[in-house]
Amino acid sequence: MDNIEEGLETSSNFINKYTYDWLIHIGVPRQSAAYVNLFVLLVLLILLVYLVQWVVRKLLTVVIDKVADKTNVPFFDYLRKNRFPHYLALIAPISLIKSSIHIVFDNFPKLIAPLDTLVEVYMVLMTIWIIMSILKSGADSLRHHPVFEGKPLDSYLQVIRMVLYLFAAVAIFSIVTKKNPTAFFAAMGAASAVLLLMFKDTIMGFVASIQVTTNDMVRIGDWITMPKYGADGSVTEINLTTVKVQNFDKTITTIPTYSLISDSFQNWRGMQQSGGRRIKRAIIIKQNSIRFVKDDELEKYKKIEGLANYIETKGKEIERHNQDKGLTNREYLLNGRNFTNFGLFRKYAEWYLQNHPGLHKDMTTMVRQMAPTETGIPLELYAFTNTVVWLQYEYIMADIFDHLIASVKYFDLLIFESAAGTDIIDVHFDNAIPAADAKKENSL
C-alpha cells in the first residue's frame, strides 16, 4: 500500500496524479485513495467508451440508411438487420481503451499486461463478428436472387464461420501464449484423430451439403417425404449437420444432412413445377353386377351425356364384326361382341374426366380396368389436376369421385363395400329344400 501511495505521489501520469490529488484534497483517506482513484478513472473510461460507441453506431446507422434509400440495394438493409453498425461501433473505441489502460492502471502494473492481452483477444472476436455480419448480409441478399433461391447458403456460412473461428483460435492462442502460430498447428496435428471423431457429423454434413447442392437434390421450400424419419413437409433450413422439415401438422422433423445422400427420400418439386398433381384412385365394382346390355336398353344409355356418339360409332363396329363372323343369333348375348354396362360406365368416366374443368388437359388422363381381386374389379382413374395447391387438389378429386360414385347406379352396377350392421341382406338359395320336405327329413 505504501508503494502504491509513493508511486502516485511521484507519478508522471498527469491524469492519474491529478485525480489522486483531487481525492486527497476533498478528504479521501490516503489508505483508500489509490483504490478510489482507480474506481473513478475506470468509471470515467467506461462512460467515455460508451459515448464513443454510441456516437459511432448512430453515425453508421444514419449513413447506411441513407445509402440503402438511395441505392435500393437489399445488402445495406441486411447490414442493419445483422447489426453491422453495432459490431463496428464496439470495435471503434479499441485504441482509446488500449491507451487508457496505462493511465488508469498506472499504479497497478501487474494488471496492465493481462488487460492488454484481454483487449487484443476482444479485438480478434469483434473482427470475426464484423466479418460474419457482412457475410450473412450478403447471403441474405442473395437468397432473393433467382440463381440462389432455395440453395443451402446456411451450410456455406457455417463452413466459413468454422474457418474464421479456426483463425481466431490460432490468433488468440498466439496472443495469450506469445508463441508462434505454428505451435498451435503442431498441437492440433497431435489431436487430429480426436478432432476428426468430434467433428465427424460436421465433416459428413459438409460433404453432403456439397453433393446436395451440386446435384440440386433439395432446395429450401421443397416438399420432401422421408418415412424413415417421419418427415413429410417443406424444407425450412439446410445446414451442415441437420435439415429441418416442417411437416403438414406443423411439427418439425430434424434429419441428418448426410442422410439425404445415404438414404432414399421423395422430393415433390417436380410435381410442383409441372403445375399438375396426380389423381390415382380406384372404384371397386362388384363383378356379379357386370352384364351385357340388351339392344333395347341402348336407347336409355344414349340419353346420358357423352355416350350417344360412342354408342352409335361403337354399335356400327360391333354389328359389322358380328355380321362378318356370322354371329347373327342374338338370343344369347354372349354370341359375338356386345356392349356391357361396365364398358359403358368406363367410357362415361373417360368422357367426364376429359371434360372436367379441374384437370390438366396436357397430361395423361386415363380410366383403366385393373386385375380382379377378391373384393371386385378396380376401375382406376388416372389423371392430373391443373393445380398443385393441396386444398384445391382435394376438392377436385372429391368432386370427381362424388359424381362417378353417384353415377354407378345408372349403369346397374354395384360398388363393393363391407356390410355394416345396419345393412339388410337378402339371401337366396337356388337349391333350398321346401319347408315340408325339411320337416320330413328332420323327423327321419
Residues 99-125, mean pLDDT to the nearest whole number: 78
Residue among 383, 423, 374, 388 nearest 404 (CA): 383
Check if the beta carbon of residue 379 is closer than 8 Å to that of residue 414.
Answer: no
Give dist(CA 271, CA 274) in Å, integer: 5
Helices (H), 292-434: 298-302, 308-324, 341-354, 390-407
385 φ/ψ sector (left φ>0, alpha ψ -120 to 50, else beta): beta
- For residue 340, the tally of other CB atoms under 10 A from its CB is 15
Instruction: Delimit the domains of the chain by residue range.
Output: 2-142, 275-291+340-444, 294-338
pLDDT tens for each residue of 161-212:
777 887 888 888 788 877 777 666 666 665 666 666 666 777 777 777 777 7
Tell me, what DSSP letter sits at residue 433?
P
Cell representation of residue 282: 380406384
Name the CA radius of gyration of the chain, rounded: 42
| pLDDT of 440 over the 50 cut | no
Task: Quote the pLDDT of residue 359.
Answer: 95
**Fold assignment, 275-291+340-444:** Alpha-Beta Plaits (3.30.70)
DSSP secondary structure string, 79-104?
A: HHHTTHHHHHHHHTTHHHHHHHHHHH
| The pLDDT of residue 92 is above 60 | yes
Note the pLDDT of residue 340: 93
* pLDDT the model gives residue 70: 80
User: 102 near 56, Cβ under 8 Å?
Assistant: no
**Could you give the CA distance from residue 152 to residue 371 in angstroms, rounded to a whole number?**
46
pLDDT at residue 78 above 90?
no
Q: Is the pLDDT of residue 101 over 70?
A: yes
Residue 106 has pLDDT above 90, yes or no: no
How far apart are the C-alpha atoms of 244 and 226, rounded to whole Å?
A: 12
How confident is the prediction for the chain on average, in pLDDT? 79
